[in-house]
Structure 1
Amino acid sequence: MDWRRDLNTLSEIVSDHIKFRRQLLKLAKSDIVKQYRGAALGWMWAVISPAVTIFVFWFAFSIGVRRGHDVDGYPFFLWMISGFIPWFYMKATLTGGAGSIRKYKYLVKRIKFPVDTIPTFVSLSNLIVNLALQIIMIFIFMGFGFMPTKYCLQIPLIIIGMFIFFTAWSLMAGMLSAMSKDFLNLVKSVTQALFWLSGVIYDANRITIPWIRETMLFNPITLVANGYRNAMIYHRWIWEYPGQIRNFVIMTVIMCVLAVWAYKRLKKEIPDVI
């Protein structure tokens, strides 16, 4: 029966991750080093590139269109970066996860490394870089005179949920992109659209058209941005919004099912295609 095969595939994926857990950490570190190797400023680009992007959007919304009003007593700049910083991880994993198996095809063809673990260490490397940005974000809040509160204790839960969803995405998208580069090109094309449609720089809860608002609140990118702002700005617990937790769990389960399906269907063909 298909459901038994799906359970066997899921068991295989979990087993591979447990068996190769040490290698995953080493490869994640290697992936970070590879990203910045050869650049004169090296690791500084992990901060410079997001900082330039944030400055451009802050200037556009605070100086240009002059809509950067304070939010619950917090400067608009702090409101913006609380949702923007996790976006950098999500963006990197949307595209990097989709291209992960193609990028590390030598692990599949030469070393026979488990294909299902490749997207995981790429996602992990992106998360490690983003955690450094999140620490900087907290210091920026402190520099503005806003100390961390008890609500920040829920951020690790948000990080875990974010990592699980986007790692599952990376496995599904990585398998499909390995089979067809068109899928990878499609992902790169729609990523910027997702940014504008996901409430990263505006509050999706304030959209006045009900069906659009409810649809957006099924978007994991929107839910993660909301979670960070609830912790950093609005001082609310994520469980005060059970509907959003339900939506995120539903989307995560769906993504995990799709990842298992893609791996089960394509794992034997990947070494020959790439």
Structure 2
Amino acid sequence: MGIIFRISSYEDRASYQSHYLGMVWEYLYPLIQICIYWLVFGVGLKHGQSNGVDYLPWMMIGITPWFFMNRATLDASKSIYQRVGMVSKMKFPVSALPTIKIVSNLSSFWTMLVISVVVSLLYGIRPSIYWFESIYYFICMLVFLLAFGIFNSAVSVLIRDYHVLLQSVMRMLFYLSGVLFNFESGAFPPIVTRILQLNPFFYVVSGFRESLMGQGWFWQRPTLTLEFWLFVLFFLLVGSHLHYKFRSRFVDLI
């Protein structure tokens, strides 16, 4: 575990060593994106409130885990073939590479989460016992990213076009995960809403909102919770199987 944190810290510094603002871009880029989405959807399209909550804190609480999950997913998917040199020259657990990418993105997640909470407090959202529920959704997010990262990293080596496809899918999921729009408000037919709820990214995004806005407990949605963990189990089992089967051939395949 220690080596994972050391490598992830090194990668954070190495990614921005040639930039004048350095690590500041880790936090500046998502803030710029949030401002753009708020101006377009919160002001321009008059989405002033969602479920009785002002649009800005509602969006920020949802977009914070999404930014983290999106980047961690894409980074983890290319973690093996980016580190082919290290894998080929030393005995290193290949399955740990996606975890390194996930950990390296945690610092920006925590910073954005603190900013989101501060904005929520300024808009009148007060702390409640539901906030403890965010610990559960944080664990859900990490376990899902780990399972999904193990799966994606293996498939990206076996099928080189997969990473490009994954990028397109993640762009589409940004709009289908409830980050900018509340599709549970009744604007969509029930069957469409039900299909969109199957998205594991939606489960995490909506979960953070429910916990930080005091709107309910996860056990009040047992079906969605079961479906989410079935997705996690599927990706973990298939991803682990692919890693075990092809780990000795990853270097040759790359």
Shared fold per TM-score greater than 0.5:
yes
Structure 1 residue aligned with 2:161: 182
Query: What code does the residue aligned with 1:134 have?
Result: L
Structure 2 residue aligned with 1:26: 6
Taking the aligned partners of 2:234 and 2:115, their CA distance within structure 1 comes to 33
1:67 corresponds to 2:47? yes
Taking the aligned partners of 1:259 and 1:245, their CA distance within structure 2 comes to 21
Tell me the CA shift for residue 93 of structure 1. Answer: 1.7
Taking the aligned partners of 2:194 and 2:106, their CA distance within structure 1 comes to 28
Query: What TM-score, normalized by structure 1, do the two folds share?
Result: 0.87
Tell me the CA shift for residue 117 of structure 1. Answer: 0.5
Taking the aligned partners of 2:217 and 2:11, their CA distance within structure 1 comes to 34
Task: Trace 1:157-236 onto structure 2 (pairs within 5 A).
Answer: 157-207=136-186, 208-236=188-216
Alignment match of 1:259 (pick from 239, 242, 245): 239
Cα offsets for 1:81-123 (capped at 9, x unmatched): 1111100011102211111112222220112311111011111
Which consecutive unaligned segments of at least 5 residues does structure 1 have? 1-20
How high is the sequence identity, in percent, across the aligned residues?
A: 24
Structure 2 residue aligned with 1:7: none
Q: Spell out structure 1 runs of 4+ moving beyond 4 A.
A: none
Which consecutive unaligned segments of at least 5 residues does structure 2 have? none
Cα offsets for 1:43-75 (capped at 9, x unmatched): 211111001111111111122111222532x31
Query: What TM-score, normalized by structure 2, do the two folds share?
Result: 0.93
Structure 2 residue aligned with 1:18: none
RMSD: 1.6
User: Residues 185, 233 of structure 1: CA spacing in aligned structure 2 closer, same or farther, 3 A cutoff?
Assistant: same
Contact kept? 2:61, 2:117, Cα under 8 Å:
no
Alignment match of 1:42 (pick from 8, 22, 28): 22
Please give the secondary structure, in 1, of the residue aligned with 2:20: coil
User: Residues 247, 56 of structure 1: CA spacing in aligned structure 2 closer, same or farther, 3 A cutoff?
Assistant: same
Cα offsets for 1:12-66 (capped at 9, x unmatched): xxxxxxxxx1111111212222222221111211111001111111111122111
Taking the aligned partners of 2:245 and 2:191, their CA distance within structure 1 comes to 35
Taking the aligned partners of 2:35 and 2:64, their CA distance within structure 1 comes to 12
Contact kept? 2:76, 2:152, Cα under 8 Å:
yes
